[in-house]
Each structure stands twice: as structure tokens, then as C-alpha cells.
Chains A and B, each alone.
Chain A
Amino acid sequence: MCHQTVSLAARHLEANGIPTIVMGCAKDIVEFVGVPRFLFSDFPLGNPAGRPNDRESQAFTLDLAVRLLAAAPAPRTTVQSPLRWSANPDWKLDYSNIARLSPEEIAARRAEFDRQKDIAKTVLNNPQAAT
């Protein structure tokens, strides 16, 4: 949902005259919302700004992003970073892939999801109650 939130924020700023660049890893979500400029890193969610413990990769990614602020010729400009997460693309098969979960895992995840939802509700209604 992070990608949806920042995409909506980017649109709102842009509609009010402030140029924006979204950095993210979920191409379909950002483009479905529709943003002016998007630097897409084909990395696992959590790494919009470069590879972990790799300053060069992070500097490269942010530099590409800010250059796009000036260089994008029109809305819906997406640039895909040339950086690769791994030579092996199999990591892309895992995220939220229901076909890869056993019935026991599905039941456990449902229970955990319900539990976290209850915690979030408690925090929202009474921030001091969170433990």
C-alpha cells in the first residue's frame, strides 16, 4: 500500500505545481495509480533507493531519480533502473504467492493477519495502549 500512498501524494503535489519523482519497486501499482515520474527498481519491496550496504548503488539510484525530475518530457514517465537484484530472477516467484503455500501456512498467516489487524485498531484508537 506504500506505493499507492506515495503515488497519490505525488499526484496531489504535482497538481498543485510541485514536481515529483516516485522511487519504488512495485511497477504495476504505481503505474495503475498514474504518476508524473517514476524511477522503477526491479528489486524486492523495501529497496526503492538501491541495494543494501552498497553506497555506490544507492548514490546511482538517487542520482537517476533527481535527474528524472528535470528530464521527464511528459507525465507517466517511467525509467527502469538498469541495476539487477540478482542474476537469478527466481526471487520474483515468492512474494504473496498463494500457490506456493501449504494449507497449514495459509491458516497460520490468516490467524496472524487477524491478530495484527486487532493490534493496529488498538493503536489507532488509543496510541498509548500499544505494547
Chain B
Amino acid sequence: MSDHEDEGFGFAPEHDRPIPYMQRISGYYQGLGYGAPYRWAHYAEVPFAPLQKPLAASRIGLITTAAPYQPGHGDQGPGAAYNSAVKFYEVYSGDSAQDHDLRISHIAYDRDHTTAEDPNTWFPLPALRQLAAAGKIGAVAPRFHGAPTNRSHRTTLERDCLELLKRVRQDAVDAVVLAAV
């Protein structure tokens, strides 16, 4: 199995595969001197609810982890350093018919390789409206919702998830798109 033998097959380089984030993050924080490895949420069973209507008749909701821009709370623009001052701790909602200025400076996104200059790469509300206008989905739900991140598992599972469910039920959605930054 030398390199020579594999030539000509068009194989991609070994590292051209999904980044092993859990391993990288664990190594990173241990390297920085923080001891106990993070315990990631992990389940053996996964729930499944089939879509009950055709997509073209379904009302689709949107959940984001992006944060509303807050003037006066430090740099949140493209290329801004990590800015924990604009983190949010409660589920928030916005009118889907309006445009919103949502940022990601409170998140550990890839600051080396993406510039965070185009919100449409993390908040696809305009694109969702276009799908509705094109008749590919039935409608956009009246509100989108913001999910707080980097919380304890208990807070996410016992508070934030319940609140998100309550709100999407109020919106009478048929299905939900969740975009993770």
C-alpha cells in the first residue's frame, strides 16, 4: 500500500474529510490547561416524526443561534473577535416578514476561514421566503426563534427546548429548519 500503488485512482487527501470537532476542541482546551474533557450530549435513540403534509402545503419555521445586533456592545461585525457581551440567555423571537440584523460574534465560528460578512450563510430567512414565493414550501411561519447556546445541558434541555417547542406550536408549524452556526 505505497503512495505509488494508489496513484491514478483520484483519491482525495486523507485530511479532506469532516473536521473531527469534538477531538479538536477537547485537545484545544486541554492544551490551554483546562483539565476535565467536555461531556457532549449523546443519545442512542433518535425520535422521528414524518412530515404530515406535502412540502408545498407545509408551514416551515426557522430556529437560529445567531444573536440580534446590539449597538454599543463592542465589535460584532465581520471578522470581529469572540464577543461574549452579546450572548443571549433567553429564547427570543422575530417577525419572519421583516428583515433582521443577526450576528455571530458571540459564537466560536471559524474565524480563520470565514469572514461572517454575509448573514445569509447562517440565517436563511430571506431564502426561506423565496422558497415560499416559489411555491416549494407552503408558507414561512410567522416568527423565527433564537436559541441560546453554550448553556448547561440542564438549561438547554429543561428550559430552552421547552420554550422553543411552545413557540413553534403557537406558530402552528408543520416542520422546522434549525441552522447551527
Task: Show the binding face of A for B, using Cβ within 8 Å.
Answer: 1-30, 32-36, 40, 42-53, 55, 58-59, 61-63, 65-67, 69-70, 74-76, 85, 89-99, 101, 106, 109-110, 112-113, 116-117, 119-120, 123-124, 127, 130-131
Of all chain B residues, the one with the shortest Cβ separation from A91 is B113
Q: How far is the CA of A12 from the CA of B150 in the complex (A)?
A: 17
**A24 cross-chain contacts in B, Cβ below 8 A:** 179-180
**A50 cross-chain contacts in B, Cβ below 8 A:** 120-121, 124, 127
Given contacts A21-B177, A23-B178, contact A2 B107 (CB under 8 A): yes
Q: Is the CB of B22 within 8 A of A32?
A: yes
**B49 cross-chain contacts in A, Cβ below 8 A:** 14-15, 17-19, 36
Q: Is the CB of B178 within 8 A of A6?
A: yes
Given contacts A2-B180, A33-B41, A45-B110, contact A19 B50 (CB under 8 A): yes
Task: Show the binding face of B for A, using Cβ within 8 Å.
Answer: 12-13, 15-25, 27-28, 30-33, 40-52, 54-55, 58, 60, 63, 65, 72-74, 81-87, 89, 104, 107-110, 112-118, 120-124, 127-128, 130-131, 136-137, 147-151, 153, 156-157, 160-162, 164-165, 168-169, 173-181
**Which of A26, A33, A61 is the one whose CB lies under 8 Å from B19?**
A26
Given contacts A66-B55, A76-B46, contact A53 B118 (CB under 8 A): yes
**Which of A9, A55, A109 is the one whose CB lies under 8 Å from B160?**
A9
Of all chain B residues, the one with the shortest Cβ separation from A24 is B180
Q: Is the CB of A28 within 8 A of B42?
A: no
Q: Is the CB of B176 within 8 A of A75?
A: no
In the complex, besides A32-B22, A58-B127, 7 extra interface pairs with C-beta distance below 8 angstroms are A8-B161, A26-B21, A28-B22, A32-B42, A46-B104, A62-B128, A120-B87
**A25 cross-chain contacts in B, Cβ below 8 A:** 180
Q: Is the CB of A49 within 8 A of B121?
A: yes
Q: Is the CB of A13 within 8 A of B120?
A: no
**B28 cross-chain contacts in A, Cβ below 8 A:** 96-98
Q: Is the CB of B65 within 8 A of A5?
A: yes
Q: How far is the CA of A90 from the CA of B173 in the complex (A)?
A: 41
Q: Is the CB of B177 within 8 A of A66?
A: yes
Q: Is the CB of A120 within 8 A of B12?
A: no
Q: How far is the CA of A30 from the CA of B72 in the complex (A)?
A: 34
Tell me the smallest distance from the CB of B115 to a CB of chain A, in Å: 7
**Which of B23, B89, B118, B148 is the one whose CB lies under 8 Å from A5?**
B148
